[in-house]
Amino acid sequence: MTPQPNALEIEDLVMHFGPVRAVDGVSLTIPRGRVTALVGESGSGKSTVGRCVVRLVEPTAGTVRIAGTDVTHLSRRRLRPHRGAVSIVFQDPAGSLDPRMLVGDIVAEPLRLAGKRISRRDRDARVAPQLERVGLRAEVARRYPHELSGGQRQRVSIARALISEPMLLIADEPTSALDVSVQASVLNLLADLQRDIGFACLFITHDLSAVEYLADDIAVMYLGQLVEQGSRERIFARPAHPYTQALLSAAPVADPVRQRERQPVLLGDDLPSALDPPSGCRFRTRCPLAFDRCATEVPARTAIGDGMAACHLVRPDGTGPDVRTADPSEVLS
Partner 1 sequence: MTTPSAPVLEIRDLSVSFPTETGTVSAVDGVSLDLAPGEIVGMVGESGCGKSVTAMSIAGLLPGSARITGSVRLDGAELVGARESALRRVRGQEIAYIFQEPMTSLNPVLTVGRQIGEVLQVHERMSRRAARARAVELLTLVGIPSAAQRVDTYPHQLSGGMRQRVMIAMAVACGPKVLVADEPTTALDVTVQAGILQVLRDLRDRLGTSILIITHDLGVIADIADRVVVMYAGRVVERAPVDDLFARPRHRYTAGLLSASPQPGRHAGTDRLTEIPGLVPVLSTQPDACTFADRCPAADATCRDAAPPLEGIGGTDHVAACWHPCSTAPQEATR
Using a 10 angstrom Cβ sphere, with 0-12 exposed, 13-18 middle and 19 or more buried, the burial of residue 109 is middle
CB of 74 to partner 1, least distance (A): 34
Would you say 55 or 284 has its CB closer to partner 1? 284
Q: Which of residues 9-28 bind partner 1 (CB under 8 A)?
A: none
Q: Which amino acid is at 63?
A: T
Query: How many residues contact partner 1, by CB under 8 A?
Result: 45
Q: CB within 8 A of 21, min separation 6: which ones?
A: 14, 224, 274, 275, 277
Would you say 184 or 303 has its CB closer to partner 1? 184
Would you say 1 or 257 has its CB closer to partner 1? 257
Would you say 10 or 267 has its CB closer to partner 1? 267
Q: How far apart are CA 318 and CA 327, in angstroms?
A: 20
Query: Which listed residue (184, 231, 278, 328) binds partner 1 by CB under 8 A?
Result: 184
Q: Which of residues 263-292 bind partner 1 (CB under 8 A)?
A: 264-271, 286
10-18, 71-79, 159-167, 177-185 -> range binding partner 1 (CB under 8 A) = 177-185
* 210 near partner 1 (CB under 8 A): yes
Q: Strand ranges (DSSP E) for 184-224?
A: 200-205, 217-222
Q: How far apart are CA 139 and CA 224, in angstroms?
A: 44
Would you say 1 or 275 has its CB closer to partner 1? 275
Would you say 14 or 271 has its CB closer to partner 1? 271
Q: Coil, strand or helix: which one is 277?
A: coil
* 136 near partner 1 (CB under 8 A): no
**Number of Cβ atoms within 10 Å of the Cβ of 243:** 28
Q: Which amino acid is at 328?
A: P
* 261 near partner 1 (CB under 8 A): no
Strands, sheet with 20-30, edge to edge from the N-terminal-most edge strand? 20-30, 8-17, 61-66, 69-70
* 259 near partner 1 (CB under 8 A): yes
Q: How far apart are CA 15 and CA 48, in angstroms?
A: 8
* 253 near partner 1 (CB under 8 A): yes
Nearest to 43 by CA among 303, 324, 277, 313: 277
Query: Which listed residue (20, 57, 102, 251) binds partner 1 by CB under 8 A?
Result: 251
* 31 near partner 1 (CB under 8 A): no
What torsion do the CA atoms of 225, 44, 202, 113 make, to the nearest 10 degrees? Answer: -110
59-67, 100-108, 173-181, 317-325 -> range binding partner 1 (CB under 8 A) = 173-181
Q: Quick check: 53 and 135 in contact, CB under 8 A?
A: no
CB of 207 to partner 1, least distance (A): 8
Q: Which of residues 48-87 bind partner 1 (CB under 8 A)?
A: none
CB of 182 to partner 1, least distance (A): 8
Burial 36-68 (b: 16+ CB within 10 A, else e): bbbbbeebbbbbbbbbbbbbeeebeebebbbbe
Query: Which listed residue (164, 209, 231, 285) binds partner 1 by CB under 8 A?
Result: 209
* 231 near partner 1 (CB under 8 A): no
Would you say 259 or 319 has its CB closer to partner 1? 259
Q: Give the interface with partner 1 as residue ranges (CB under 8 A).
A: 41-42, 149, 179-185, 187-188, 191, 194-195, 206, 208-210, 212-214, 232, 236, 246-247, 249-257, 259, 264-271, 286
